[in-house]
Each structure stands twice: as C-alpha cells, then as structure tokens.
Chain A
Amino acid sequence: MLIKTQLRLVALLPAVFALLIASVLWLTDLKVNQAQQDAEMAAKVRLANFELVILTQEYLLYGGVRPEKQLLIRHQSMGELLARLEFEEPEERELIEALRQGHEELGSFYKLLLGSNTTARERIIGVLLVKSQDIRAKAEQLANIQYQKVAEIQKLIDRSVMGVLVLLAGVSFMLLALLTLRMTRMIKQLGNGVSQIARGNLDYQIPLATPDELGALAQAFNEMNRKLRESYTSIDKLNDEVAKRQQAEMDIHQLNAELEERVSQRTAELVAANMELEAFSYSVSHDLRAPLRAIDGFSRKVLIGHGDKLDDEGRRQLQVVRDNAQRMGILIDDLLDFSRMGRREMAWQPLNMDVMVKAVADELRAAEPQRTLEFVISPLPQAWGDAAMLRQVWVNLLGNAVKFTRLRPVAHIEVGGSTKGGETLYWIRDNGAGFDMNYAAKLFGVFQRLHRQDEFEGTGVGLAIAQRIVHRHNGRIQGEGKPDAGATFRFALPLPTPENALSGERAS
C-alpha cells in the first residue's frame, strides 16, 4: 500500500471516529429526548393528579355540579394521559400499571363519591386522598426514574465520547508509530544505500522492494547506481584511453626530441663535412691542376724542343701522356662543377622554359654549324626554380642529344612538356645512339658512361649534374632508351605551394 494511502487512511481515522461519536450522540439524544418526554408525561400525570386532589378538595368544600363534571373530565384526561404512556422497563411498567390501577380505583372512588352522601364522602375522600397521594408518589417516582435515565444516558455519552476519543488517540498513535517505524527503517536502508554509493560501492543494490514510494525511490536509486556504474565503466575506459594517448604523446615528444637532437647532430656533422668538402674542392681546383698543367706543358716542351731526338713511337707516347693529363684536367673540372652544383645557393623564381630551351638549342646549333640539327620544341609550361641551374640541365640533356645523334644524317630532337598533379613535366627525345636499359641504373652516376670514349667523348658527369640539380629542386629525372633507337629523358619539377612561393626557398 502506498504511504500516501496509509497516511490518508490514518487521517481518515478521526473522521470515522467523529462519525461514530456523532451517531452515538444522535442515538443517545433520541433516548434522552424520549426520557425527557416520558419525564414530562410523568410530570403531567403528577400535575393532573394534583389538580384532581385540588378539585376533590374544592368539591368537598363547595360541592356542586361544575366541580363534579370537572372532576370527571380531569379524571378522564388523566386516564387518557396514562393510556398514552408506554415504557419498556419492567419497573416502569409496574409503575404505570400501578398508576393505571390507582386511577381505576380513583375513578371508582369518584363514582362512589359522587353518588355518596356527606358522611360517606369524608371517608371516601380520605381514601381518595390516600390514593392520590399514592399516585402522586408513583408519578414522582416515574419522573425520577426518567430523570435518572437522562442522567445515566448523559453519563454514558460522556464516557462513550471519552472512550472513543481515547481509542482514536490510541489507534492513531499506534498506526502512526507503526508507519513511522516502517518508514524510518526504509529511509535508513535508503540512506545506507546512498552512502554506500557515495563511498563508491557502485555494485550495491538497496534491498527494498516494497510497493510504495520508498520502494520506487530505492528502485530509482538502484537504477541510478547501475547507470553510474555503466558511466564509470565508460569513464574508466576513457581514462585508460586518455592515459594511453598521453603516454603515446610523451613517447612522440621524446622521440621528437631525440630526433631533433640527432638532426642537429647530423646537421653539425653535415656542416663540418661540407666545410671539409669545400676545402677539398678548393685544394683540388688549385693544387691538382698545377701538376697536370706541368705534365702537359713540359711534355709539350719536350715535343717542341726535343721532338727531333725522339722517334715516332716516342712522340706518340708523349702525346698519350699529354692527352691523359688534359683529360684528367677535364675530369677535375667536371667533378668540381658537379660538387659546386650541390653547394650552390639557389635563387627561386618562375622560369620561361620556352625561351630557355630555344636559347640553349640555338647555342648548340651554333657550336656545330656543319651538322643538320632539327629541334622540334612544343610549348613548355613555366617552371619554378633556379635559372642558371635549370639552364644547366637543358644544356646537359640537349647537349647529350646533340652528341649522341652525331652519326645520324639528320639529328631529330624533340622537346615537350605538360603540367600534371602540382608539377611540371618535361621530356627530350632524340633519334641518337640510345642505350641499353640494362645499364639504366648507371645512367646518372658520376663518371658513369654507357659509351666508349672513342665512340662519344665525355666524362660521365653531365647527367649526374642534371640529376643533382633536379633533386635540389625536389624533382625527379629518368631516362629510357634502346640501343641505336634513341633515348628519352624526362624530368618533373614541383610547382610552388603558396608557402614556399612566399618564402621563395625550399630545401636547398
């Protein structure tokens, strides 16, 4: 049963009791009224009797017809009065019976009296008076009984009301006490459960399954606890995840720090190596060339000054010395060029490749006027890079094309380009000697040559320089060919992104 209902029932209790009291009062009131009416009737009987006595005495004193009649009338009305009286108590009935009998007797005495003579009258009156006295006493007794009855009823009412009130108080107290006890116990259980939850015992279930509000509250708490437990489980999982991520982040930070450390270390090493390289290049350019110049110069002096003392073979051999000294000079120069390309500062800018390629082609044509060189140059996309360096790429690639088409009656050299996926692509195709793709890996190596010196001269540095320049532009270069069927070289240069276009500098 709901507590609300229980409380309502307890609250209803006084009303029930009040109703009870009211009905008791109503019932007793009826009884009191009856008793009072009866008492009044008794009083009337007594009055009638008293009037009869008065009339009798009046009759005795004055006589006459009128008192006679009145006596009879009175007697008759008293009889009617008595006839109306109805009681249930035996005592009352006896009294009534006695009164009725006395009245009868009185009646008969009146008859006697009215018919008697004077002497007899006095006797009769004496008897009459005695009878009347008796009736009066009896009527009084009856009235008293009624009054007594009223008093008793009132006392009964008092006691009943008192009793009912006491009962009400008792029952109310008992019910409320019971209710309070029960609620206190339940609230205690609830409180206990809540504090368990508060202490973090999320597995706790409040063992309260009463079908009332507190039971519902307990269920709600248990539900809340379950939800909390679920939340905590997810929070725990989240915390785990967060901890893992923090650890990962720390690891990354540490790795980054280590990496930076290593990068700066490597950078320092690279700077040192670069300085060594520069010192080396400087030495090479100064110190290695001087002896070569001496070898060549003095060989020449011998040939000119003392050539007549040598035979043809001696002169030829001295010429071999000179040729090799000169070749070594060229190799050193090329090596220095290659080295310089790696160290040069780059000046980034947009470059008109059409103009650049045409200029290089014209120079090459001018250098070999006796040959038929056919350049087919398609429109080329604008590039982003260092002008001098990219010009060197064209010089080397177109120079190669010119060189390796030497045996063709008409050298056919095609140049084209396009823009694709954030980079510009260029290609050069010739109808020259080509090369064997099996050696393609050696194509861009320093001093790597795919042709014999007596076929095509060269040091094998041109493509290495071209590759180095393209790589310094963050680009790619590749070559494909077929022996005696020409070669195609392609290179790609990234276009500037907004940032490096602004800074004007990329990796250099």
Chain B
Amino acid sequence: MNTNTMELQILLVEDSPSDAELTMDALRESRVVNQVKWVKDGAEALDFLFGHGAEAASECRCLKLILLDLRLPRVDGLDVLRAVRADERTRRLPVVVMTSSHEEIDVVRAYDLGANSYLVKPVESEAFMKSVSELGLYWMLLNKLPGEIK
C-alpha cells in the first residue's frame, strides 16, 4: 500500500450535502477510512474517475469503494454505475448503492448493472450511522479486491 492509496480510498457520490456530511461522519466514526472524495453529481463523478488522462482516479488504483446515490443531478447514479462497469479499469471496483429509494425497480436495475450492494439509507440517524460505519468496516477491512490476497 503506497501513500496514494492511503490518501484516497472511497469515492462518495452524493448530491445532498447533509447526507454527505452524515455519511462522512459515520465513516470517520468507524475509523477505518481516512480519505473520502465527495462529488456532488454523476457528471462530476465520471469526470473524477475518467477525466484527466493519467491523473484520473481510475489510473491510481487507490480507490477501494464507490458509495453511489441513485438520484443525482445531470448524470444519474445508474448511468455512473453503467460507465464504471463498462470501463476495464473500474470493472471490478466495488460499488455500493446508497439511496433513499425503496423501489423494487431501482434495486433490480442496480443489481442488473453490477452493483455489489444496495443500502436503503435509514431516516433514523443511529441506524444510519450504524449502517454506514458497518458498511465501511466490511468493505474497507474485510472485503478483498483482486491483488490484495497474498
């Protein structure tokens, strides 16, 4: 693990600043994540992932997880997911959909497009904090990516 990967481990795609803040609070509370990159819509997410040639985040191999909201301005969350799965560099990157949507259709679409997990954000904040920190714990510490098993 180089410094780069330590610096950037999670990409959070979330248009709601309060949700983003609470999510980052929760991840911080779990103490498993130091660096979270927060983008506010799908276009920004794609730009961050694939935008500036060699500087693109997809090139640095420092991303371990994408937390993706579905209802986003400009480019929708599912379109981001589709683009991530279509690109060779991010094809195997874990994507956890974190949304307010209870709709079955969204769950089905997300999994069809290759989401690794689907989390409905609870309204109740204790539950929310618990969900997000456990999620961080699992994906950052327990889950293994290709090349991480020695």
A: residues with CB less than 8 A from B are 281-282, 285-287, 289-290, 292-294, 296-301, 322, 325-326, 328-330, 332-333, 336
Q: Looking across the interface, which residue of chain B has its beta carbon closest to that of A293? A: B123
Residues of A within 8 A of B129 (CB): 297, 300
Would you call B122 and A293 a contact (CB within 8 A)? yes
The winner among B71, B121, B125, B129 for most chain A CB atoms within 10 A is B125
Residues of A within 8 A of B148 (CB): none
Could you name 9 residue pairs across A and B whose Cβ atoms are closer than 8 Å? A281-B103, A285-B102, A286-B99, A289-B123, A290-B121, A293-B121, A293-B122, A293-B125, A330-B123
Would you call A322 and B121 a contact (CB within 8 A)? no
> Which of B17-25, B52-60, B86-94, B136-144 forms part of the interface with chain A?
B17-25
CB distance from B121 to the nearest CB of A (A): 6
CB distance from A294 to the nearest CB of B (A): 4
Bound together, the chains give a CA A273 to CA B25 distance in angstroms of: 41
Residues of B within 8 A of A322 (CB): 125
Bound together, the chains give a CA A192 to CA B145 distance in angstroms of: 117
Q: Looking across the interface, which residue of chain A has its beta carbon closest to that of B29? A: A304
Q: B4 at the A/B interface (Cβ < 8 Å)?
A: no
Would you call A290 and B103 a contact (CB within 8 A)? no
Residues of A within 8 A of B103 (CB): 281-282, 285
Residues of B within 8 A of A281 (CB): 103
CB distance from B35 to the nearest CB of A (A): 21
B16: contacting residue among A294, A326, A329, A330, CB under 8 A:
A294
> Could you mark each residue 110-138 of chain B with 1 if its beta carbon is under 8 Å from any beta carbon of chain A, else 0?
00000000000111111011000000000
Known interface pairs A285-B101, A290-B18, A325-B123; 5 further A-B residue pairs with C-beta atoms within 8 A, sorted by A's residue number: A282-B103, A286-B99, A290-B121, A300-B129, A328-B123
Q: Looking across the interface, which residue of chain A has its beta carbon closest to that of B126? A: A300
Would you call A289 and B121 a contact (CB within 8 A)? yes
Bound together, the chains give a CA A294 to CA B122 distance in angstroms of: 11
Residues of B within 8 A of A282 (CB): 101, 103
The winner among A282, A322, A332 for most chain B CB atoms within 10 A is A282
CB distance from B71 to the nearest CB of A (A): 5
Q: B5 at the A/B interface (Cβ < 8 Å)?
A: no
Q: Looking across the interface, which residue of chain B has its beta carbon closest to that of A301? A: B25
Q: B100 at the A/B interface (Cβ < 8 Å)?
A: yes
Bound together, the chains give a CA A297 to CA B16 distance in angstroms of: 13
Would you call B125 and A297 a contact (CB within 8 A)? yes
Bound together, the chains give a CA A408 to CA B43 distance in angstroms of: 59
Bound together, the chains give a CA A409 to CA B123 distance in angstroms of: 34
Residues of B within 8 A of A333 (CB): 102
Would you call A297 and B18 a contact (CB within 8 A)? yes
Residues of A within 8 A of B100 (CB): 285-287, 289-290, 293
Bound together, the chains give a CA A301 to CA B22 distance in angstroms of: 9
A297: contacting residue among B22, B99, B101, CB under 8 A:
B22
> Could you mark each residue 23-56 of chain B with 1 if its beta carbon is under 8 Å from any beta carbon of chain A, else 0?
0010000000000000000000000000000000
Contacts A290-B16, A290-B19, A301-B25 given; does A296 touch B125 at CB 8 Å: yes
CB distance from B41 to the nearest CB of A (A): 15
Would you call B101 and A286 a contact (CB within 8 A)? yes
Q: Looking across the interface, which residue of chain B has its beta carbon closest to that of A299? A: B125
- Among all A-B residue pairs, the 10 with the closest Cβ atoms: A329-B123, A294-B18, A297-B125, A297-B22, A296-B125, A300-B125, A289-B100, A286-B100, A292-B123, A326-B124
Residues of B within 8 A of A286 (CB): 70-71, 99-101
B128: contacting residue among A285, A293, A328, A332, CB under 8 A:
A293
Would you call B22 and A293 a contact (CB within 8 A)? yes
The winner among B25, B102, B121 for most chain A CB atoms within 10 A is B102
Would you call A326 and B71 a contact (CB within 8 A)? no
Bound together, the chains give a CA A293 to CA B71 distance in angstroms of: 16
Residues of A within 8 A of B19 (CB): 290, 293-294
Residues of B within 8 A of A289 (CB): 100, 121, 123
The winner among A281, A287, A296, A329 for most chain B CB atoms within 10 A is A296
CB distance from B16 to the nearest CB of A (A): 5
Residues of B within 8 A of A290 (CB): 16, 18-19, 100, 121
Residues of A within 8 A of B25 (CB): 301
Would you call A336 and B102 a contact (CB within 8 A)? yes
Residues of B within 8 A of A332 (CB): 123
Bound together, the chains give a CA A456 to CA B19 distance in angstroms of: 32
Would you call A326 and B102 a contact (CB within 8 A)? no
Residues of B within 8 A of A300 (CB): 125-126, 129
CB distance from B125 to the nearest CB of A (A): 4
Bound together, the chains give a CA A289 to CA B16 distance in angstroms of: 12
Q: Looking across the interface, which residue of chain A has its beta carbon closest to that of B23? A: A297
Q: Looking across the interface, which residue of chain B has its beta carbon closest to that of A326? A: B124
B22: contacting residue among A294, A328, A336, CB under 8 A:
A294
Bound together, the chains give a CA A322 to CA B122 distance in angstroms of: 13
The winner among A289, A294, A297 for most chain B CB atoms within 10 A is A297
CB distance from B23 to the nearest CB of A (A): 9
Bound together, the chains give a CA A296 to CA B126 distance in angstroms of: 9
CB distance from A74 to the nearest CB of B (A): 170
Q: Looking across the interface, which residue of chain B has its beta carbon closest to that of A329? A: B123
Bound together, the chains give a CA A293 to CA B19 distance in angstroms of: 8
Would you call B18 and A329 a contact (CB within 8 A)? no
The winner among A286, A322, A330 for most chain B CB atoms within 10 A is A286
Residues of B within 8 A of A298 (CB): 18, 22
CB distance from A461 to the nearest CB of B (A): 14
Residues of A within 8 A of B123 (CB): 289, 292-293, 296, 325-326, 328-330, 332
Residues of A within 8 A of B125 (CB): 293, 296-297, 299-300, 322
CB distance from A275 to the nearest CB of B (A): 14
Residues of B within 8 A of A292 (CB): 123
Residues of A within 8 A of B128 (CB): 293, 296-297
CB distance from B122 to the nearest CB of A (A): 7
